[in-house]
Structure 1
Amino acid sequence: MSEPVSAMAGAFHDGIVRVEDAGLHGMITLRGDLSSAKVKKAVKAAVGADVPGQRMIASAGEKSVAWMSPDELLLLVPYSEVGDILSGLEAALAGEHFLAVNVSDARAIFALRGGQVRDVLAKLAPVDMARDAFKPGDFRRTRLAQIAGAFWMPDNETIMIVCFRSVAEYAFNLLKTAALSGGEVGYHDA
């Protein structure tokens, strides 16, 4: 059996911010009635955080849950725990209409780190990246140039980006280009 590897195998680029492959992450798509008490309890048991509000992400330690759509969540968990968490979800949601799928190997995650992360992402996504418009805890599912992606800010100098693994090299190159030294916009600094 082969060993799992992240989409870009640890690639990184240092420009006005650091762009890096964030390594292996466990990801579970959970679809169902997000207002169901059973779903809320199962999510809390799986990640330690409550189901977040619209366009939000909630975290507890190494685990997070992101709102993807009115009936979809993305659970972000340690890669090695996906199987156990899926089993727990299936047991907790027995009798409930739901879908829980391991999408870990179908996705890639990148991290942008540095004081100008907002400027870099503003070049690629149609999202207002002003400090009062997008804050840690917010989550957006959108486009990054020509590809689908989603992102959130764990803190004011870090943006985490998830996209399909099939476009990971394209996404990495987009992010690298947007982060080239000399490409500062200056609008979102300070």
Structure 2
Amino acid sequence: MSDLATSLNGASFDGLVRVEELRAQGMITLRGDFADADFVAAVTQVAEVTMPGLRGAELDGKRGLLWMSPDELLMLCTYAEAPILVAKLERALVGHHSLVANVSDARACFTLQGQGLREVLAKLAPVDMSRGQFEIGDVRRTRLAQVAAAFWLRSEDVAQVVCFRSVGAYMFHLLATASAPGSDVGFL
């Protein structure tokens, strides 16, 4: 199998944090009734992680479920398993009001690594990034400057950002500019 093409072919930038485009992140959008115990059981069984709470993420290695809205989840998986998991979800959700869509190729993903990631994100998003307000496992679906995006903390020094692929280059340059050496504010 040849290498998968991403919007920036794995571009990276080192500054206050390391900004790196993720190659081949599998992503599945799921919509359904979170109050339906059968829906939740089917999704969590296929995902092999528990259901996240409001604005939360449940991550376990390469798999995860992220709360996107009151009726929407984003499932993270490997790129190769995304079509397989879509088929499993479609079978498991027969008879349930739901939507399952592989959006892996429609999104661009980036990781931010380093101690300054809270400050970099705070420069771009209308989110209180201070400790105690935004914690590991929290998800925000918001805007980074002029771009719709979602982000979450995987650990205290690793965050992941996802946006539409069509604005991937803009997002990369936005993140790189916010993490430019000498641009630290020192607030967070």
Q: Please tell me the TM-score bracket, short chain as reference.
A: over 0.9
Following superposition, the deviation at residue 4 of structure 1 comes to 2.9
Instruction: Give 1:138's aligned amino acid.
Output: D
Contact 2:138 2:153 in 1 (8 A): yes
The count of corresponding residues between Structure 1 and Structure 2 is 188
State the alpha-carbon separation in 1 of the partners of residues 34 and 96 from structure 2. Answer: 11
State the alpha-carbon separation in 2 of the partners of residues 165 and 46 from structure 1. Answer: 26
Following superposition, the deviation at residue 35 of structure 1 comes to 1.7
State the alpha-carbon separation in 1 of the partners of residues 4 and 116 from structure 2. Answer: 32
Q: RMSD of aligned C-alpha atoms?
A: 1.2
Measured against aligned partners, the alpha-carbon deviations of 1:49-104 in whole angstroms (never above 9, x if no partner) come to 12211100001221000000111000011000011101111111111110000100
State the alpha-carbon separation in 2 of the partners of residues 63 and 7 from structure 1. Answer: 23
Query: Could you say which residue in structure 1 is the equivalent of 2:138?
Result: 138
Query: Could you say which residue in structure 1 is the equivalent of 2:100?
Result: 100
Instruction: Give 1:142's aligned amino acid.
Output: T
Runs of 4+ in 1 over 4 A off after TM superposition: none
Following superposition, the deviation at residue 2 of structure 1 comes to 7.5
Contact 1:139 1:151 in 2 (8 A): yes
Contact 1:34 1:40 in 2 (8 A): yes
Following superposition, the deviation at residue 3 of structure 1 comes to 5.3
Query: Could you say which residue in structure 2 is the equivalent of 1:61?
Result: 61
Query: Could you say which residue in structure 2 is the equivalent of 1:76?
Result: 76
Query: Could you say which residue in structure 2 is the equivalent of 1:49?
Result: 49
- Using the size of structure 2 for normalisation, the TM-score is 0.97
Instruction: Give 1:171's aligned amino acid.
Output: M
Measured against aligned partners, the alpha-carbon deviations of 1:99-148 in whole angstroms (never above 9, x if no partner) come to 00010000010000001000111000000000110010100000000010
**Matched residue SS, 2:8:** coil
Contact 2:63 2:77 in 1 (8 A): yes
Following superposition, the deviation at residue 26 of structure 1 comes to 0.6
Give percent identity, aligned residues only: 50
Confirm whether residue 163 of structure 1 aligns to residue 152 of structure 2: no
Contact 2:4 2:23 in 1 (8 A): no
State the alpha-carbon separation in 2 of the partners of residues 62 and 95 from structure 1. Answer: 29
State the alpha-carbon separation in 1 of the partners of residues 50 and 145 from structure 2. Answer: 32
- Using the size of structure 1 for normalisation, the TM-score is 0.96
Following superposition, the deviation at residue 19 of structure 1 comes to 0.5
